[in-house]
Amino acid sequence: MSDAKEGYKNISKTVALIAICAALYAVASAATSPIPTPWGVGHFRPGVIVPALFALISTPFVAGTGAAIGTFMASFILATFGLSNPFLSLVSGVPGNFIGFYLLSWLLSKGRTWHSFVTSSVIALFVGNFIAATGVTAYFSFVVPNWAAWTIAEKISTIFGLTLFWMVTMIPFVVALVPPLYRGIAPILSERFATGVRPEFFGNDRPRDLLYNSVMVFLLFMAIYVGVVMTPFGDAIFNKVIRPEYVFWAKNLFIIAGGTVLAFGLTASFFMSKKLSPESIGRKV
């Protein structure tokens, strides 16, 4: 009987964590929904810091499910204002968010260090946004005549354009805001939801590992920036935008994203070398 009660409590805590993640993500997503993308599809979404935080503190199932439900809730609410489409969300945002944040949490379960957090965030956000972008393009190809008339090359280019745009608008917020949020919130959630929250804190980074990792990600974004600014690749992925005045700023977001990762690496490495981190980051008190 005691085992059954304990199992029920664990399920209840998991459901509660999913509900908290979903609700916070829905609110955060809705708050920035009026900010459009150059394609007029999807939203500017710094609110991904919510499921990214839950990917750190909880399990892949909690992070993925909370993100999927949260993005659908936001889409359902925004549909009343003509700002979203729940059916589109079901084939794009829901699977993209679930797989992306499930993957992020799973990757972080394999390496609990801040340099793995940077790498895992880039990988997971690319994968999740690629799935979402593919769903968007497929959906509109069936329901919008203009999209249906596009060539395969134009559709593939648009998928990569949406993927990269969403990724570089999310990375700066995830890398800059999730670590301090984790430090403040993880101890509280660990106390209330002990069985649903990962007990171990981040640590065992060597400053040079984090710095090296951050520099590599920075160079990756700089390489993409050069590609979208100085090669036909950039023209191709922005070929079908409906707001061309945003393209210049969209391209320069790669510099901002790369610079944010590099700044995080430099700052965190400095504090690590001074023995202020990583032990102090996320420690329970």
> How confident is the model over 195-223, as a mean pLDDT?
79
pLDDT band at 191 (very low <50, low <70, confident <90, very high): low
Query: If you average pLDDT over each of 3-7, 108-112, 245-249, which comes out highest?
Result: 245-249
C-alpha span between 80 and 2 (Å, rounded): 46
pLDDT at site 103:
97
C-alpha span between 169 and 227 (Å, rounded): 18
Q: What is the pLDDT of residues 158-173, one digit of tens each?
A: 999 999 999 999 999 9
Residue 125 CA: distances (Å) to CA of 175, 272, 276: 12, 26, 29
pLDDT at site 77:
87
Q: Is the pLDDT of residue 284 over 60?
A: no
Q: Is the pLDDT of residue 222 over 70?
A: yes
Q: What is the pLDDT of residues 111-122, one digit of tens each?
A: 778 889 999 999
Q: What is the pLDDT of residues 127-139, one digit of tens each?
A: 999 999 999 999 9
pLDDT at site 279:
44
Q: Is the pLDDT of residue 274 over 90?
A: no
pLDDT band at 146 (very low <50, low <70, confident <90, very high): confident
pLDDT at site 197:
60
pLDDT at site 277:
45
Q: What is the pLDDT of residues 49-104, one digit of tens each?
A: 999 999 988 899 999 999 999 999 999 888 887 777 889 999 999 999 999 999 99
> How confident is the model over 182-201, as a mean pLDDT?
65
Q: Is the pLDDT of residue 203 over 70?
A: no
pLDDT band at 281 (very low <50, low <70, confident <90, very high): very low
Q: Which residue bears the tokens 């459009």?
A: 36
> How confident is the model over 189-205, as a mean pLDDT?
60
pLDDT at site 114:
86
The alpha-helical segments, DSSP class H, found in 193-239 are 207-230, 232-237
Round the average pLDDT of the chain to a whole number and report it. Answer: 86
Give the Cβ contact number of residue 230 at 10 Å.
9
> How confident is the model over 185-211, as a mean pLDDT?
68
pLDDT at site 2:
54
CA 63 distance to own-chain centroid: 11
**8 A C-beta contact, residue 209 and residue 113:** yes
C-alpha span between 266 and 250 (Å, rounded): 25
Distance, first Cα to last Cα, the chain: 33
> How confident is the model over 192-196, as a mean pLDDT?
57
- Please give the single-letter amino acid code of residue 122: V
pLDDT at site 283:
47
